[in-house]
């Protein structure tokens, strides 16, 4: 019988099941050392385990993923673990044959609850793929909420302004750009999945595990919501045109690499992403054509998208909320952008979670 992985203490159970499968399938002994309960995400991992190699323990820091069925999941985990000086390991309920080979290609070590594994190091090389057993833990399936367009908008609102979780639904709806009914459905889903709880006599709502909610949102945004934002690309003759562009009063904000540059001073932008109020889009595009000779080009470096959130979420003038900038950078799967994304997560996103 398949076992559904519940929220809450799922990391401990997932790790124990994967260790048992590794022991049975590859004959390697391993043990769970600790489960991290740091919700700020500064440590960047969920657990520590030891794998015995020639009688000596080899320590791994672990990133647990409930859902790992796309290359983007693996790439995101790889980028996150690279920021940690210790050896990193992905543990998931199931890693498919195709994804296992991709993990090996990008040098991402993993184990799952079905006995699939990729481990390497001095005196160690294990690669098992294609195993699937009835008693293995199955990935959690979402009931809709965060993977639906309205749910993604509501989740983005809470990630951008965590204190808004306790606000009236009407205020959340205004900033998310959805109906009151959609807010109610999304909040019910988030509560059912353990991201939102009610506490005290007033049953005030609180946001739990925002780091994991962010991870889930970042994976779903480029697939579900971003394609609905009237995405158009343009080329501009001068590669540095963006340095002279002032967005104030245009209804537009920078996303992607230019926003990251403004937030961190770390990245030299090779592409430009702009989110624009739909009602201002036509007028702003005319400005781009006149001032910078922008022209339609499916391979152009400039990307124009509809802005999908309310002004109440804007933190810095002319820059999209950091959670969106972070998602834009990770969606590019560019290691150079990935490093900057982690800086934004640490210095901008985690701070807002800590203050909530």
pLDDT band (50, 70, 90) for residue 317: confident
Question: What is residue 240's predicted lDDT score, i.e. its pLDDT?
Answer: 92
Q: How many angstroms separate the CA atoms of 27 and 50, rounded?
A: 14
Q: Give me the long-range contacts of 80-87 (CB less than 8 A, separation at least 24).
A: 80/44, 80/342, 81/44, 81/45, 81/108, 82/338, 83/44, 83/342, 84/43, 84/44, 84/45, 86/59, 86/60, 86/61, 87/58, 87/59, 87/60, 87/61, 87/121
Question: What is residue 257's predicted lDDT score, i.e. its pLDDT?
Answer: 95
Determine how many CB atoms are found less than 10 A away from the CB of residue 254. Answer: 25
pLDDT band (50, 70, 90) for residue 326: very high
Question: What is residue 193's predicted lDDT score, i.e. its pLDDT?
Answer: 80
pLDDT band (50, 70, 90) for residue 146: low
pLDDT 10s digits, 328-345? 998 887 777 888 998 999
Residue matched to tokens 């979420």:
313
Would the pLDDT of 142 be above 50?
no
pLDDT 10s digits, 82-93? 888 889 999 998
- Which of 137-141, 293-297, 346-350 comes out lowest in average pLDDT? 137-141
Q: Over pLDDT 90: what percentage of the chain? A: 53
pLDDT 10s digits, 156-177? 999 999 999 999 999 999 999 9
More confident residue, 11 or 5: 11
177, 156 contact by CB (below 8 A): no
Question: What is residue 223's predicted lDDT score, i.e. its pLDDT?
Answer: 87
pLDDT band (50, 70, 90) for residue 202: low
Question: What is residue 231's predicted lDDT score, i.e. its pLDDT?
Answer: 95
Question: What is residue 280's predicted lDDT score, i.e. its pLDDT?
Answer: 93
Residue matched to tokens 């340095």:
243
Backbone φ and ψ of 274, nearest 5° = -125, 130
Q: Global pTM?
A: 0.66
Question: What is residue 331's predicted lDDT score, i.e. its pLDDT?
Answer: 86
What are the structure tokens assigned to 333, written together? 């799967």
Burial of 285: CB neighbours in 10 Å, binned 0-12, 13-18, 19+: middle
Closest CA to 207 of 194, 219, 216: 194
Question: What is residue 298's predicted lDDT score, i.e. its pLDDT?
Answer: 93
Q: How many angstroms separate the CA atoms of 304 and 322, rounded?
A: 18
47, 36 contact by CB (below 8 A): yes
């Amino acid at each position: 019988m398949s076992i559904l992985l519940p929220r809450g203490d799922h990391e401990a159970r997932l790790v124990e099941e994967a260790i048992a499968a590794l022991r049975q399938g590859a004959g390697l002994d391993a043990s769970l050392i600790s489960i991290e309960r740091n919700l700020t995400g500064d440590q960047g991992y969920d657990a520590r385990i030891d794998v015995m190699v020639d009688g000596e323990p080899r320590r791994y820091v672990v990133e647990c993923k409930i859902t790992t069925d796309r290359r983007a999941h693996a790439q995101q985990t790889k980028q996150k673990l690279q920021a940690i000086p210790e050896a990193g390991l992905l543990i998931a309920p199931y890693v498919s044959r195709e994804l296992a080979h991709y993990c090996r290609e990008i040098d991402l070590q993993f184990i799952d609850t079905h006995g699939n594994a990729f481990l390497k190091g001095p005196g160690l090389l294990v690669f098992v793929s294609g195993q699937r057993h009835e008693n293995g833990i199955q990935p959690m399936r979402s009931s809709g909420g965060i993977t639906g367009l309205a749910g993604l908008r509501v989740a983005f609102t809470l990630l951008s302004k965590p204190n808004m979780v306790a606000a009236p639904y009407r205020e959340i709806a205004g900033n998310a750009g959805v109906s009151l009914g959609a807010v109610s459905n999304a909040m019910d889903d988030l509560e059912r999945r353990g991201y939102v709880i009610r506490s005290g006599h007033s049953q005030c709502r609180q946001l739990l595990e925002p780091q994991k909610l962010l991870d889930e949102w970042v994976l779903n945004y480029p697939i579900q919501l971003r394609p609905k934002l009237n995405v158009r690309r343009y080329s501009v003759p001068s590669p540095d045109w963006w340095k002279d562009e002032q967005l104030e009063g245009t209804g537009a904000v920078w996303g992607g690499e230019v926003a990251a540059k403004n937030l961190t001073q770390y990245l030299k932008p090779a592409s430009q992403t702009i989110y624009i109020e739909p009602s201002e889009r036509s007028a702003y595009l005319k400005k781009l054509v006149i001032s910078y000779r922008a022209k339609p080009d499916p391979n152009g470096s400039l990307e124009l998208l509809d802005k999908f959130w309310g002004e109440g979420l804007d933190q810095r003038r002319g820059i999209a909320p950091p959670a969106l900038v972070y998602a834009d950078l990770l969606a590019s799967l560019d290691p150079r952008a990935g490093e900057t994304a982690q800086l934004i997560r640490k210095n901008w996103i985690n701070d807002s979670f800590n203050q909530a």
